[in-house]
């Protein structure tokens, strides 16, 4: 195996970690399908 | 409080003081620095660099042109640092002249180890892309400690290279810089990592400039900083690859 190929390893890992981070960040911002709200009296 | 304001950067061209100086002269001007503007100018500068590099790359007899490029590039870099307002002229000149130098250097390495230049180009842009993504995602943040660490490491490398340069006049040098031994390869790998981390400081500088509304000409100045780091990174990757190839 070419040892130069190993130099791509940190680049690929960093890219994957960034993509996962972006994906997880957006996950929290998604609007929920159902929203349950408490209804107060006389509302 | 702006998280960039107490910024430290290893790149001598990119420091917060630069913004403060530029801001005093830009009050009342309508056009301000934008990230998009920096991206466009960096693309243009890289295009100029690649075109001029292809000239010395394709004709090995043009080594004199590469020497001229080195001198002109040095003058353009100094002019850019001391007078950022003329960066729109000096940065394209810097890109063209450095392209001539890089084309000749790449040619020399390529003759020794065929395919090395293409590998180095892909690795440089791969590093740029992955670090940009890491910065945008928030995986890597340019915190105060991060900046201080990169600044100290870059300074140490600079001092080491300077000592090596002085020692070369006496026919000697620091072995680990040029050696293909495991220690030499480890040293080169470390330098590549530090050069790559300087890109994060450049991104932070660009973001800060856009946030505080620095004047338009600072787009060229930020492009210059990014170009300096990319050229350094490319040369160090080229050196690392040549060390790895020489062990075969």
| Residue of A7, A8, A10 for testing the chain B interface, max B β-carbons within 10 Å | A7
* Residue ranges per structural domain of chain B: 30-246
Chain B hits for A8, CB-CB cut-off 8 Å, are 123, 126
Residue B15's pLDDT band, with cuts at 50, 70 and 90, is: low
Q: Tens of pLDDT along B81-104? A: 999 999 999 999 999 999 999 999
B129 and A15 within 8 Å at the Cβ level: the answer is yes
Question: Does B2 have pLDDT greater than 70?
Answer: no
Q: Tens of pLDDT along B149-167? A: 999 999 999 999 999 999 9
A21 and B131 within 8 Å at the Cβ level: the answer is no
Q: Tens of pLDDT along A1-43? A: 677 888 999 999 999 999 999 988 877 666 667 777 777 776 5
The confidence score (pLDDT) of residue B186 equals: 95
Q: Tens of pLDDT along B33-62? A: 999 999 999 999 999 999 999 999 998 888
A22 and B129 within 8 Å at the Cβ level: the answer is no
The confidence score (pLDDT) of residue B9 equals: 53
Residue B22's pLDDT band, with cuts at 50, 70 and 90, is: low
Give mean pLDDT, residues B195-203. 96
Q: Which of residues 92-151 of B touch A (CB under 8 A)?
A: 119, 123, 126-127, 129-131, 133-134, 136-139
Chain B hits for A25, CB-CB cut-off 8 Å, are 137-138
* pTM of the full structure: 0.85
The confidence score (pLDDT) of residue B63 equals: 84
Cβ atoms of B84 and B22 closer than 8 Å: yes
User: What is the C-alpha to C-alpha distance for residues B120 and B126, in angstroms, rounded to an integer?
Assistant: 10
Give mean pLDDT, residues B217-237. 96
DSSP characters over chain A: --GGGGGHHHHHHHHHHHHHHHHHHHHHHSPPS----PPPTT-
């Amino acid at each position: 195996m070419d040892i130069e190929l190993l130099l791509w390893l940190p680049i690929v890992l960093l890219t994957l970690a960034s993509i996962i981070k972006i994906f997880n960040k957006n996950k929290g911002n998604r609007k929920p399908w159902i929203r349950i709200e408490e209804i107060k009296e006389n509302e | 409080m702006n998280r960039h304001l107490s910024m430290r950067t290893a790149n001598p061209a990119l420091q917060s003081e630069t913004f403060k100086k530029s801001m005093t002269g830009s009050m009342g001007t309508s056009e301000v620095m934008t990230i998009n503007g920096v991206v466009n100018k960096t693309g243009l500068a890289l295009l100029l660099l690649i075109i001029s590099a292809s000239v010395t790359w394709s004709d090995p007899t043009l080594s004199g042109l590469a020497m001229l490029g080195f001198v002109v590039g040095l003058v353009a870099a100094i002019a850019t640092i001391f007078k950022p307002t003329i960066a729109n002229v000096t940065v394209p000149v810097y890109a063209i002249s450095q392209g001539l130098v890089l084309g000749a250097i790449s040619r020399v390495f390529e003759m020794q180890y065929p395919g090395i230049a293409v590998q180095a180009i892909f690795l440089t842009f791969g590093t740029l892309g992955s670090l940009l993504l890491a910065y945008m995602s928030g995986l890597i943040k340019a915190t105060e400690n991060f900046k201080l660490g990169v600044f100290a490491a870059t300074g140490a490398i600079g001092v080491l290279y300077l000592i090596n340069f002085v020692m070369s006049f006496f026919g000697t040098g620091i072995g680990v810089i040029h050696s293909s031994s495991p220690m030499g390869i480890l040293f080169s790998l470390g330098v590549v990592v530090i050069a790559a981390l300087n890109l994060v400081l450049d991104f932070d500088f660009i973001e800060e400039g856009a946030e505080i509304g620095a004047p338009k000409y600072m787009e060229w100045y930020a492009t210059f900083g990014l170009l300096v780091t990319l050229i350094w990174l490319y040369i160090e990757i080229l050196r690392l690859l040549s060390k790895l190839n020489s062990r075969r």
